[in-house]
Amino acid sequence: MSSTSAAAPAGAAVRSRRDSWSLALMLALTFSTGVIDAVGYLGLDRVFTGNMTGNVVILGMGLAGAEDLPVLGPVVALVAFLAGAVAAGRVLKGAPAAWTVRTTVLLLLVGLVLAALAVGAALLGIDGAEPGEPGTVSAPLLLVTAALGFVMGAQAATARKLAVKDVTTVVVTSTLTGLAADSRLAGGTGAAWRRRAGAVALILLGAAAGAALLRWHLAAGLALSAVITIAVVVAGHLTARPT
């Protein structure tokens, strides 16, 4: 067998391992997003900073005058998310659909901002919206909302560039649709059901973890997401980049 034909299976194996790592890393970020959205919804006056579908729905109901629903927070989160996605898109322009140094830099910034927010919230005593005051939020919490929206937008744009099928890290509606529409019950093959079910389960578990940590302090959920994101960056830089 020639060296060329021997190299082809080896190259395919390397790509397969790299793709598996990319999937695992994006699933980890999906869990982290669940934590962040729980922190936002429960600690920042019912604001999603990762799931913009939910955020837009809340904003629409709030603008229509639905009782006790926020408007300012969702607007801040939405604008910041778009700004983060635009910034990441500019950085990633022309980059291949793979883990690159630019991917590492962007996600590292996400992790560092989350860590800074956790430290700041702990040191300054920022511990979520006051109970009994729906629709109102302090300036420090609005700053946290804006920062979270920005980094979640950057993370979503980075994940989109990596193009790991069915794992966007911030939403699972399309994932659930694919899981159901391609299932054997629907006459499909059930292809990719593990990654789809995994993404849904992980964002659910992340939200549960975020809600539990919020009982302790707002900073706890932010710190967990920071640790996960930085761990993803290190693992991705070492294992998921093309060689």
pLDDT above 90: percentage of residues in the chain: 44
Give the mean pLDDT of 21-28: 88
Per the CB < 8 A criterion, the answer to whether 119 and 144 are in contact is no
For the segment 194-215, what is each residue's pLDDT rounded down to a tens digit?
A: 878 888 899 999 999 999 999 8
The whole-number pLDDT of residue 168 equals: 79
Model confidence at 112, pLDDT cuts 50, 70, 90, reads very high
Taking the CA atoms of residue 168, residue 172, residue 177 and residue 179 in that order, the dihedral angle to the nearest 10 degrees is 80
Q: Which residues contact 121 (CB under 8 A, 6 or more apart)?
A: 127, 144, 217, 218, 219, 222
User: What Å distances lie between residue 184 and 175, 192, 193, 197, CA to CA?
Assistant: 16, 12, 10, 14
Question: 135 by DSSP, 3-state: which?
Answer: coil
Q: Which of 93-97, 203-207, 236-240 is least confident?
A: 236-240
What's the mean pLDDT when you consider all of the chain?
85
Rounded Cα gap, residues 129 and 63, in angstroms:
20
Model confidence at 11, pLDDT cuts 50, 70, 90, reads low
Give the total number of structural domains in the chain: 1
The whole-number pLDDT of residue 196 equals: 82
Q: How does DSSP classify residue 185?
A: G
Query: What domain range includes position 23?
Result: 3-239
Please report which helix (H) or strand (E) contains residue 3, including its range.
Answer: helix 3-43
Query: Hey, what are 33's tokens?
Result: 């997003």
Q: Which of 58-72, 77-91, 107-121 is least confident?
A: 58-72
Checking if the pLDDT of 149 tops 90, the result is yes
Q: Map tokens 């695992």 to a residue.
A: 24
Give the mean pLDDT of 69-73: 86
Checking if the pLDDT of 3 tops 60, the result is no
Give the mean pLDDT of 159-175: 80
- Report the phi/psi class of residue 60: left, alpha or beta, with left for phi > 0 and alpha for psi in -120 to 50: alpha
Query: Hey, what are 134's tokens?
Result: 């729906």
Checking if the pLDDT of 6 tops 50, the result is no
User: Whole-prediction pTM value?
Assistant: 0.86
